Amino acid sequence: MERAELQGWIDAYERVWRAAGTDGISELFAQGATYLVSPWAEPVVGLDVLKTFWESERDGPDEGFTMRSEIVAVDGSVGVARVEVDYDRGRRWRDLWIVTLDADGRCTAFEEWPFAPHQPDGHA
């Protein structure tokens, strides 16, 4: 994968997230894809389960937010991006996304490391 391919996938992810329904998910994810909402979570596996999960996690296509991303690294079929999302309702997230793409440009493994301002910083 090249950096431009990963950026294109991220742009498509945002477009599909903003769209009504879940039809676009199959353009983003391979049939047996795994999706982790944190490195410690149980993965969501497969398109049908992912579609149900996706709908439960968002407010719908009218949900207002701004999303910015920066590609951190690409190595073979795996890319890492820093993603920041600011929702109109005041929620903020800064994430690291680890994305593995197949030869068709569909994600086979997605892992998110989400951080929000209210989370502890980990210092003792």
Average pLDDT over residues 5-17: 95
| Domain presence at residue 43 | yes
Query: Is residue 121 very low, low, confident or very high in pLDDT (cuts 50, 70, 90)?
Result: low
Q: What is the pLDDT of residue 63?
A: 75
- Residue 108 pLDDT > 50, yes or no? yes
* Segments forming the whole domain that contains residue 111: 3-115
Average pLDDT over residues 99-124: 84
Beta-carbon count within 10 A of 107 CB: 22
- Residue 100: CATH number of its domain: 3.10.450.50
**What is the domain count for the chain?**
1
- Residue 30 pLDDT > 60, yes or no? yes
**What does pTM read for this prediction?**
0.89
- CA–CA distance, 48 with 31 (Å, rounded to integer): 9
